[in-house]
Amino acid sequence: MGRYHFVFPRWSNLLLPGALVVGAVTPLYVVLVVAYGFSPKTTDVGYEPAQPVPFSHALHAGELGMDCRYCHNTVERAAKAAIPPTQTCMNCHTQIHKDSPQIAPLLESYQSGNPIAWNRVHDLPDFAFFDHSAHVTRGVSCVSCHGRIDRMEVVYQHEPLSMGWCLECHRNPDEALRDPALVTDLGWTFEGTAEEAAAEQARWKELHQINPSQDCSTCHR
């Protein structure tokens, strides 16, 4: 059987170094794109879906000063913060702005019994478990995860809610702690010195025996 000789032009030798560089860099590029480009930090922060009813947190929680727990009434005793049923809204809107076209979907829901199809903003993956009650009853404010909701006309995701972000808080929880009675006061700040604030936070940490777990099974059950 005869031999086949493949002869490439001399200039093709110049392509070899470039091919080696591309072969070495491509896997790193792919890893960076997957690890960063598709991480919650870059895909979810700022997520701001439109809602079927234009509910303004800036008006209700901010200007009117409504407590978060009036609508999200399970937050202190359950893992999930309840999305309010239509009846909660209608406690006020049977009397206030009841003829406004903006709340027409609300009235239709109230009359038909069909729930409003709210679009969830903060939606953790199914493999991650988070207990609202465990946090807010120990002095972690809503603002730590959700930002200044009371200033948002349309609610958006303020924090990445990634595993690394959660672990940062579990490793250093002191800065997130306050009197549990103040967790829904989103504009509250400690008025003393930095040293006094640290001492107060350490006091709440000791009082509630806060030692957050970093074990995988804490959130992945």
How many whole angstroms separate alpha carbon 120 and alpha carbon 53?
13
For residue 17, the model assigns a pLDDT of: 74
**pLDDT at residue number 26:** 73
pLDDT computed for residue 7 by the predictor: 63
**Burial call 135-162: b when 16+ CB within 10 Å, e when fewer:** bbebbbbbbbbbbebbebeebbbbbbbb
Is residue 128 within 8 A of residue 167, CB to CB? The reply is no
- pTM to 2 decimals? 0.81
For residue 140, the SS3 value is strand
Q: What is the model's pLDDT at position 94? A: 93
**What's the CA gap between 10 and 196, in Å, rounded?**
75
Could you tell me the mean pLDDT of each successive run of 10 residues in the chain, 221 residues long? 59 69 71 64 86 96 96 96 95 93 95 95 93 97 97 97 95 96 96 95 96 94 87
Cβ count near 179 (within 10 Å): 14
How many angstroms separate the CA atoms of 208 and 139, rounded?
A: 9
Q: What pLDDT was estimated at residue 27?
A: 75
What is the C-alpha separation between 77 and 85, in angstroms, rounded? Answer: 18
